[in-house]
Amino acid sequence: MRTIALALLLAVAIWTLTFPNAALAADIANGAKVFNSNCAACHMGGKNVVMATKTLQKDALEKYSMNSLEAIINQVTNGKNAMPAFKGKLNVQQIEDVASYVLDKSEKGWS
């Protein structure tokens, strides 16, 4: 039993090192540029000028299940409600970068 647990732990470690998280591959500085060029008009400082309760603050992202890279990438890519889709305007790397930037800023309280 102990051998199986150790093998599983080793497999997880190898998997993690072989396939790093998208946030690690993202360029947060580029995400800031993308955000300022495409998102800041509605989301300056993590706010939302269209729907005041759906901000980019950590608590709001958690409340609306938008507190993961996957959820933010999906929202930016496909849009929803008043949020336009950026699929044709931004490439995949730009979308990943801006999603990482938003998560990073929300963790820091947009300071």
H/E element, 6: helix 2-18
44 a known binding residue?
no
Q: 83 among the known binding-site residues?
A: yes
Q: Which amino acid is at 97?
A: D
Q: Are 38 and 86 in contact (CB under 8 A)?
A: yes
The answer to whether 43 is a known ligand-binding residue is: yes
CA-based angle 80:83:84, to the nearest 5?
A: 95
- Would you list which residues are annotated within the binding site for heme c? 39, 42-43, 83
- Would you list which residues are annotated within the binding site? 39, 42-43, 83
